[in-house]
Structure 1
Amino acid sequence: MRSIRPSSIASREGRARRRNSPVLAAVALASALALTATACESGDAAAGGEASASAGSSDDGKLKIPDDIRDRLREHGIDIDKWKNGAWKNWDRDDWLREANEYINPIIEGLWDPDRMRDAEEPDQGVDDSDLSGDQGVTDPTPEPVEAQAVPSSYHANAPTAGKVFFDSPKGSAVCSATVVKDPAHPGKSNLVWTAGHCVHAGKKGGWYRNIAFVPSYNDDGKPVAELENATREDVAPYGVWWGDWAQTSDQWIEQGGSTGGDGAPYDFAVIHVTPEKGSGGKSLEETVGSALPVDFKAPAVPKVKSVTAIGYPAAPPYDGQKLYRCQDQPGRLSVTTSDPTMYRIGCTMTGGSSGGGWVATGSDGKPALVSNTSIGPVTSGWLAGPRLGEVAKGVYDSVSKKFAGR
């Protein structure tokens, strides 16, 4: 999760005036691409790729991309041939796409190998918990820390909807947690994943992250780091690697989100539509893992929620990011700014890397449902906070679902 450092009151008031419309941030172009390449390096942000023959190649072995798609990419300064050969590693500010319709995420087959997955780090920087101001609206007392409990292996048997999101940022390969959620347009056959907005987009000072991929039931057997050093891809990703061919977050996160300070945190959520890197025999993600959680956008107000369970792969010390953990607690309220929705907050010792992980509670229909995701927490750990999912979140979710309704 991201750490908390409040911004100045003046800047908050300026942002509040821009929050008069829950405009959705649609993410374009990615669904039109299915670039398959083979990684030539692994384990760090310098890994690149070369086109493989399975990527719709011509007789001379060159990748075939429809001219209209290639032209649209070049409008944004992207040469797809250069991209697959390593241009994605260029994070120059002028070339870093950040607007809602500029997201691209071509598949680079084999890029996320076991070493690169294991070495991915949480994208967070810590600050002292005392930096959180106490005059920002309704905020309950800081909860007592709840010790995170290891989820028994196999993870697929005990938490089948949980997994990891891997991506590349200017600082290198990074990792978050995520949850398989239901798709109303495809009952029983969802390809939707829920995570935090800061796991797909850098917010107000950056753009879209790259090479975004979801691995359900990562390290399903819960092997320690020493045993993973010689692990195969099937060991760490038994249900495959699923690339994000479409992603969407809130307009508020893109305009206001920051790596520290809680800016944009009440809108720090995202939905990713995924496609398998190497095919799945025609099965959807939900069919492959055998489960998906409904999302409850009408969960009770914080004081009426008796218990919430947060789940994720904490990567910052004392954890190593290789095992799945969860915390259960009664949530309290956290108000980062008076103009934004109040967030859920629970006691939990999970650290960075658990960002984006699902929060599950009894939904409005009496059944388990996703009601939030991990967004922020202090450097000292001890608690986590997540957004309460309302109309803006529902708009993001519905938009992605409808985009793929006829496919």
Structure 2
Amino acid sequence: MRFSHRQRLLAATGFVAALALTATACDSGDTSASDKPDSAASRTADKDGDGIPDVIADKLQEYGIDVDDWQDGGWKDWDKDKWLSEAKDFVNPVIEDLWDAERMRDAEEPARTLSPQDASVDQGVSDPVPAPVQATPERTPYHENAGPVGKIFFDSPEGSMVCSGTVVSDVNRPGRSNLVWTAGHCVHAGANGGWYRNIVFVPAYNDLGRSEEELAAGTAAEDIAPFGQWWADWAAASDEWIAGGSGEGGAGAAYDYAVLHVKPESGDESLEERVGGALDVDFSGPSATEVDAMGAWGYPAAPPYNGLTMFRCIDRPGRLSLDPSLPTMYRIGCTMTGGSSGGGWFRMADDGEPRLISNTSIGPADDTWLAGPKLGEGAKALYDDMSTSYGGQ
């Protein structure tokens, strides 16, 4: 049974209030990731002092790419033979000052992964299409109400792009996590491409929700990126997304999730410490029928939005099956557009704390709903691999 309007409103109000109270005060199938160094020392060793860890320099050299050329713009070469695509190929050396305020404002939403609006979406187990839920602006300052939520910037063959992401806790580094949850299509192009480049996470982007005019007139860096920029030095996406993902979702849509390990441009404080909290991930994969309400957070960038404001949608989830052979996805009514991709979906756990349970993956052309993957055993294995590889680092 669907919520009545009044029931949905009450549930949403309580849910949002709980998230606001805990966002800055939280305690803290197959997987794909780059070949892992043995230790923090080997990962960060920089014998020639050029600012590029030797493990990254060696990997670029392996593919015939000069480190200096890469930093000076060689990363713009998207030749298929040089577009690193395999799980082990991820490289993302820091290029200081690349993502200035203007470049971040000009970044566009990626080609949206869309679910086809035909009978195929009703194969398997699908509930009726939900009524649209109008996205609501998050309260400012964002760091006090939804601190773990932020924007992900990256470069693709089409130019600079944006997605959304969430700081999640690290079981092997309690209270000091450097992990960010997002969608697979925000870090890897899927079956027809490879890893995107210059991936950074900016938590609580545009913290005060300033307008485009205000930002264009100039504003302090701490307003745009109150907790700084965090470069991804490791990434993991599902094998299913890498093998079958596409701009239309494809066979990888039900596995469209990824985890980033990030580091600051300077300093040694963890992301969780800097932001003030992180959210646990719920890998139990409950049926949509077992969940009263889910909330999706993100920075929609396609019209009528401009990517500068954080929004949220709250709804009771339904089920969406793209194919009987694929896991059923969650679906909620929501008017957020491209740019919200990768943003976390949250539910209230039995202990009254919010948990990340999914992320925005696909939606229809008319932007009336969103769907996200269930995070089950495969997602947990991906997370565990990342956490174990970087535990204590």
TM-score bracket, normalised by the shorter chain, equals 0.7 to 0.9
The partner residue of 2:128 within 141, 148, 160 is: 141
C-alpha separation between the residues in 2 aligned to 1:302 and 1:329?
Answer: 11
Q: Secondary structure at the match of 1:133?
A: helix
Kept after mapping to 1: 8 A contact 2:121/2:323: no
Where does residue 332 of structure 2 map in the other structure? 346
2:348 alignment partner AA? T
Distance change >3 Å, CA 355–CA 66, structure 1 → 2: closer
Kept after mapping to 2: 8 A contact 1:345/1:383: yes
TM-score by length of 2: 0.87
C-alpha separation between the residues in 2 aligned to 1:127 and 1:372?
Answer: 17
Distance change >3 Å, CA 287–CA 127, structure 1 → 2: closer
Where does residue 255 of structure 1 map in the other structure? 243
Q: What are the Cα deviations for residues 19-64 of structure 1, in whole angstroms up to 9, with x where unaligned? A: xxx33111247986769xxxxxxxxxxxxxxxxxxx9876xxxx26
Q: How does 1:8-407 map to 2 (within 5 A)?
A: 22-28=29-35, 63=50, 70-125=57-112, 130-131=117-118, 133-229=120-216, 230-279=218-267, 282-363=268-349, 365-407=351-393
Q: What are the Cα deviations for residues 223-280 of structure 1, in whole angstroms up to 9, with x where unaligned? A: 011111123432200110000011101001000000114431110000000000122x
Where does residue 14 of structure 2 map in the other structure? none
Q: Secondary structure at the match of 2:273?
A: helix
Distance change >3 Å, CA 251–CA 227, structure 1 → 2: same
What are the ranges of 5 or more consecutive residues in structure 2 without an aligned counterpart?
Answer: 1-28
C-alpha separation between the residues in 2 aligned to 1:263 and 1:392?
Answer: 15
1:99 alignment partner AA? E
Where does residue 24 of structure 2 map in the other structure? none
Q: What are the Cα deviations for residues 308-351 of structure 1, in whole angstroms up to 9, with x where unaligned? A: 01000000000000000000000000001111110000000000
Q: What is the Cα deviation at residue 152 of structure 1?
A: 1.0
Kept after mapping to 1: 8 A contact 2:122/2:320: no
1:234 alignment partner AA? E
1:384 alignment partner AA? L
Q: Secondary structure at the match of 2:260?
A: strand
Q: What are the Cα deviations for residues 55-98 of structure 1, in whole angstroms up to 9, with x where unaligned? A: 9876xxxx265767544422222211211111100001111000
Q: What are the Cα deviations for residues 272-297 of structure 1, in whole angstroms up to 9, with x where unaligned? A: 00000122xx3211111111000011
Distance change >3 Å, CA 253–CA 76, structure 1 → 2: same
Distance change >3 Å, CA 145–CA 404, structure 1 → 2: same
C-alpha separation between the residues in 1 aligned to 2:341 and 2:248?
Answer: 13
C-alpha separation between the residues in 2 aligned to 1:127 and 1:369?
Answer: 26
Q: Secondary structure at the match of 2:117?
A: helix
Where does residue 11 of structure 2 map in the other structure? none
Q: What are the Cα deviations for residues 135-173 of structure 1, in whole angstroms up to 9, with x where unaligned? A: 421011100000000001000011111000000000000
Kept after mapping to 2: 8 A contact 1:107/1:243: yes
Kept after mapping to 2: 8 A contact 1:376/1:386: yes
Kept after mapping to 2: 8 A contact 1:161/1:291: yes
Q: Secondary structure at the match of 2:191?
A: coil
Q: Secondary structure at the match of 1:204?
A: helix
Distance change >3 Å, CA 142–CA 288, structure 1 → 2: same
C-alpha separation between the residues in 2 aligned to 1:166 and 1:376?
Answer: 19
Kept after mapping to 2: 8 A contact 1:28/1:246: no
Q: Secondary structure at the match of 1:336?
A: coil
The answer to which structure has the higher helix fraction is 2
Distance change >3 Å, CA 123–CA 67, structure 1 → 2: closer
The percentage of aligned residue pairs carrying the same residue is 57
Distance change >3 Å, CA 155–CA 56, structure 1 → 2: farther
CA RMSD after TM alignment: 2.1
Q: What is the Cα deviation at residue 403 of structure 1?
A: 0.6
Q: Secondary structure at the match of 1:271?
A: strand
Where does residue 12 of structure 1 map in the other structure? none
1:403 alignment partner AA? S
Distance change >3 Å, CA 163–CA 96, structure 1 → 2: same
Kept after mapping to 2: 8 A contact 1:262/1:376: no
Q: Secondary structure at the match of 1:101?
A: helix
C-alpha separation between the residues in 1 aligned to 2:169 and 2:159?
Answer: 31
Distance change >3 Å, CA 108–CA 134, structure 1 → 2: closer
Kept after mapping to 2: 8 A contact 1:296/1:364: no
Where does residue 23 of structure 2 map in the other structure? none
